[in-house]
Structure formats: C-alpha cells, structure tokens
Amino acid sequence: MSRRRRPNVRLQAPPAWRARAVLALFGVFAVVLCARAFELQVLDREFLVEEGAKRHLRTIDVPAGRGAIRDRRGEPLALSAPTESVWAVPSAVLEAPERIAPLARRLEMDAGELRQRLAEYRDRQFLYLRRQLSPAQARRVMDLEVPGVFLQREYRRYYPAGEAAAQLVGLTDIDGHGQEGLELALDEALHGEAGSRRVIKDRVGRVVEDLAEFTPPRAGRDIRLTVDLRLQYLAYRELKAAVAQHRADGGVVVMLDPATGEVLALASSPSFNPNSRTSIPTGGLRNRAVTDIFEPGSTIKPLLVARALGSGAYSTASEIETDGGSFRVGRLKVSDFRDYGDVDLAELLSKSSNVAAAKIGLDLGAETVWDTYRDFGLGGVTGIRFPGERYGVLRDFYQWGEIATATAAYGYGVSVTALQLARAYAALADDGRLRDLRLVADGGGPRPVAPENRAVAAGAARTVRELLRGVVAPEGTGSRAEIPGYHVAGKTGTVRKVDTDGYALDRHQALFVGMAPADAPRLVTLVMIDEPRDESHYGGIVAAPVFARVMRDALRMLRVPPDAPERLAYTNPDRGDRS
Amino acid sequence: MTGAGQNRRALLIVVLVLANLVGALAVIQAKHRARELQSELQVLRVERDRLKTEWAQLQLEESAWANPDRVARIARERLDMRQPRHYAVLGETP
C-alpha cells in the first residue's frame, strides 16, 4: 500500500472467534448490569431507601445572633433574642398518628390542619410547624417526645422603642434579613455569619453523631447611632399629638446637632408598631424625613438673605420696596399677605415678604440663586445614606427664566427633603459650615469642614441668625416658637401642595425650622406638618408650637444653659406643667 | 542466636505489648474525656443560650420600664412632680 516497504512485518487477519468472544463478553456485562440495576431500582428499592434515609451526612447551620442597634447612650432600639422554632420530618410524625392531637394542642394549632399539612409535605425532610416560640413553650412541645419533631434556634427581633422610632430603625423579615430603614442600610454589619456543624442524622432526624467539623457562628456587630432616644421619644410624642390635634396627614420632626452634623432625632408620622407585623399601615414604613420631598416655601428665604448679605450687595440697612404688596414678573404675580411698605432684611424675614425675596432673587440672578441653594446642600446628598433617601429637585439655573428665578427666591419650584432643609439651617447655625450628616456614631468628634463646603461667610450666617430672632419676636410670624429662657432663631413656612392641576387651595404643609440658643446654637429642629385640616394651616400656628415644646424640653434635657434667663421669670407657657 | 539475645527480644516484645496496652488505655481514656467534654460543652451551650435569652429579656424589660413617656407620667401623676419653670444650669454642660 505504501511505497516504503517493510519486509519484516506481515499483517495477518485475526481469527474470527476473537471478535465474537469480545462481543459476547460485552453482552454478558450488559445483562449483568441491567439485572443489577433492576434489582436495586425495583426489587430492593424500599429497603435501600430506608437504609439510606437512616443515615444522612448533614451540615446544620448554627445561626448567629444579629447585632443590636442602640442609641447614643446605649439604649436598645433593636435587639435580637433567641427563640425556638419547631420543625418536623413529616413522614416520621405521620407514623405516630395518635401523637398529632396532643402535639397540635401544645403548638396551639388545629389538629386537623396540622395533620393535613404533614400529609401534604410528607415527602419533605423538613417542615416548620411553628416559628419563634418562647424557649419555655418550645420546651413544653419537646416534652411530648414526638418522634421526628425538633427545635431549631432562631433569633427574633424586638424593637423596644416601638412606634417612636419605627421608620428610622426599620424592620427585618422573619429570617432576620434587613428589609427597611437602618436594618436594611446597616445589614452587612448587623447580620452575623451562621456557623455550621457536620453531623450524621438518623431516619427521624436525630443527630446520631457530631463530627468534629465545626465552624463557630460569628455574631453580628452592635451599631450605635447618633440618635438620643430621649429626644426621639420627645419629638415623636409632640409630633403625634400635633398630627392628631390638627387632623393632619402626617408630619416630620428632625433634630440635628449643628456642631457635629449628628442626627439626634428623626421622627415621622404616621407610624406603626414594628413589633407586630400585622399592624403596618400603607405608607407607614416611609421615613418621611428622607423619602418625601416638598417645596420649602418661605423657609428658604434665610438662605437667600444669607447669600445676599455674604455677597456684599445687601446689608441689614438695605431697604426693598414691596410695591404695595404685589408685583408682576411676566405672567406671574408675586404677592404678600398684605402691603408691608418698604422692608429691610429683618422685616423681609419676620413678615415673610415674597415680593422682597423675589426682588432680591431677580437682582442676584438665576445662577447666584441656584448656586446659593447648591451651597446649602439642596438637591444633594446629606451623608446619612438612608435607604430610599431622595435628593430633591433643583433644576439647572439655565432652565430658569425670570419667573422660575423669582419663585425660587421664595421657595417654589425647588423641592427638598426635610433632612436637607434641616442641614441647610444647621449650616446657618454653625457659622456657614455645611456638614455631612451622621446617623451612625463612629466615635470621632466633629470633623473639619473643607473650605469648599462652606455655604456662606461666617459673618453673614451670624447676621441671619440675628435677623431670624425677629421672626420669633411677638410681632413676627413665628412668635409661637418662643421658648422661655432662650433666644430662638427660626423661620416659618406655609406651603401649598401641588395637585394634579397646579397648586391646591386647601392643601398645605406647615413648616417651622429653627435653632437655639440663637447666638451659639446647640440644636437645630425642623417641624413639618403635612396637610393640617384645622381652621388654620399656617406654619407659625401649626408647626411653631410643636417646635417650641420639643426644643424647650430638649434644651433642658441636654442641660443647655438659658441664654435669656430673665425671660424665664415672666413667661407663662401654656403647657408649663405638662410634658 | 545466643540465649541473651533471645531474652532481649522477649523483653522487647513484652515492653512493646505493655506500651501498646497503655496506649490503648490512653486512647480509651481520651475518648471518654472527649465525650465528657462534649457533653459539658453541650450543657454550657444551653446555659449560655439561657443567659442570652435572659439578658435580652432584661434589656427589653428595662427599656419598657424606663420608657420616658412612662417615667414622665409617673413623675407627674404619682409623685406630683412638675417641670421647672425657672432653672439655671450649674457646672459644665456635657
């Protein structure tokens, strides 16, 4: 066949029997295999399944406890306690049908229902009968010694602060994974690492041998918040009372420490009881302070005035004509509550003149107004990284015309969260330094603020605080925010809500944002009441008294020395002996 | 082979057998000890869990008793206390 010759090799055809023999051998093997398979699969099946089921090499999880969430003083806000869950191997329980009724009784279940569930899942090796029983109740169940019934350790989450901090702390699901609020945001740190044991189990699931392989569980870390539970309770209590009194849709109270950017209280209404999963109303899970945006209205004016002062174009002596209480910008008519005549910056704030604010805004120009709000952190991140936190709406200034500039100057066409607005006021309180807000205590003290995070010159911020004292003076719009013994600086706001067809006539948000003591503020508090349905909906009437009550108690609790002690004597607070 | 050599071999075997025996006993002893420790560990785990549960319950109870609303109510109603209208803060503020 080939041209190269191999003279020594002669190919010889193999004898025919060889191929036949090999084939026959294969045939025998195949038959034996089939027979064996038939024997195992069909004849001995039951016996083998039984034998196999007798011994399982199993890895069981050893659950790890979830870390606690505590307030800044160590009080628990969320705590895990061990509980026992009862589970069963259904087929094993069904083999002892007479035990089902007493078992059901101790589990506080219906016997028929239990039997049905066991039958339904009889092919499973694992079925929860009842989850998260107290250890005592679980022991009573186990005392019955029903075969195939076991306990599994699980952790149940408790929320001692209840509804007062419900949206802030959030929730876990029944398996202990964070679902809402801080439970979700801090899940990685809070949840531990489950350990495992390698064991051999018998048919009914008993552990017959504990193999040496053991990975210990790693418990979750405890987290300490900047929130002070006493202040949180206080804020929530007053908020809840005000929402009920004014038949409002809800509300928010935010309290900040301006020197550190720490969030001291963050209350939201309506709330719910986080310890009972069935009671969660629609919308109750929302932490309105971070997820709801609104137009700040008049509460934005101090930011504008601070910039006007900081730019040097205005001083406290500047007078602005208010044109008889209304003036036109294109199609827009800007109007005041009434004609204030010529106003200076102090009156602009204390009377809350829209006309004067719009004029300053137009004078400064769209870019400067936009820049001001940006510098005060509106439309930006606050730093707390809360799930669902929104940035608000601050459109670019080149989309603004004259009208948008004018409305932005008195707080419309711009949307913020309560937390953003409170942070902007904290910057006014801290001489212009815009700090990142903190919700988790990390042990560090106040951090230096980068120069580019200065919202406004220190002098301008101080002057604005001085001017804002006029708002809380007897003739100002926020006179009800007065606190005996302290000078308060703050601003009211009454905002019309947007309906599908423009601004609603009868739906408002009442706002008050303020700080005390005015000279060197220790606390900044924002109060927002959503849709008060009373005879009055003004920020100065609905929100300011809430601010006063919360701040009065908070200042005393934090032992802030009164800066106007002479005013302690003759003021007569309407609820002096309540609290 | 000499008699002395045979004796030495016998001795060696005896020693080895004895060592073997001691070793076997030691294994039994160690196994027993391991089992004891295992069951002690089990008992301690149960005890730890019980204490954990109790600690969690005590903390929950404490926060229920110390709830500021409750404290304020008792102070007002049962102890007839009032909030100070006039006060001065003495010393350093925290």
> Is A577's CB within 8 Å of B68's CB?
no
| Interatomic CA distance for residues B45 and B48, integer angstroms | 5
Per-residue CA distances from A334 to A314, A357, A408, B24 (Å): 21, 10, 12, 100
B67 three-state secondary structure? coil
Contact residues on chain A for B60, CB-CB shorter than 8 A: 76, 79, 81, 158, 160
Calpha distance A279→A299 (Å, rounded): 35
CA distance A203 to A100: 19
Residue A97's pLDDT is 83
pLDDT in single tens digits along all 579 residues of chain A: 455 555 566 677 777 888 899 999 999 999 999 998 888 888 777 777 766 655 667 777 777 788 899 999 888 999 888 788 888 888 888 888 888 888 888 888 888 888 888 888 888 878 888 888 877 788 888 888 888 888 888 888 889 888 899 889 988 887 788 888 899 988 888 888 888 877 777 666 666 666 666 788 888 889 999 999 999 999 999 999 999 999 998 999 999 999 999 999 999 988 888 888 776 666 667 888 888 899 999 999 999 999 999 988 898 888 888 888 888 888 888 888 888 888 999 999 988 899 999 999 999 999 999 999 999 999 888 888 888 888 888 888 888 888 899 999 999 989 999 999 999 999 999 999 999 999 998 766 667 777 778 889 999 999 999 999 999 988 888 889 999 889 999 999 998 887 767 777 778 899 999 998 998 999 999 999 999 887 788 888 899 999 999 999 999 889 888 888 777 654 444 444 433
Confidence (pLDDT) at A571:
46
According to the model, what pLDDT value does residue A87 have? Answer: 87
Contact B88 A562 (CB under 8 A): yes
A to B CB pairs, distance under 8 Å: 73
Conformational region of residue A324, where left means phi above 0, alpha means psi within -120 to 50, and beta covers everything else: left
Q: Please give the pLDDT value at position A59.
A: 75
| Residues in chain A closer than 8 A to B39 (CB atoms) | none
- Contact (Cβ atoms closer than 8 angstroms) between residue A229 and residue B59: no
Task: Identify which has the larger pLDDT, A240 or B69.
Answer: A240
Cβ distance of B49 and A234 shorter than 8 Å: no
DSSP characters for A202-225?
-TTS-EEEEEEEEE--BPPPPEEB
Q: Give the C-alpha separation, A249 to B89, whole Å.
A: 38
Measured between beta carbons, the chain A residues lying within 8 angstroms of B66 are 75
pLDDT score at A575 = 43
Catalytic residue among A268, A298, A335, A353: A298
Q: What is the pTM of this model?
A: 0.79
- Contact (CB<8Å) B60/A80: no
Residue A181 amino acid letter: G
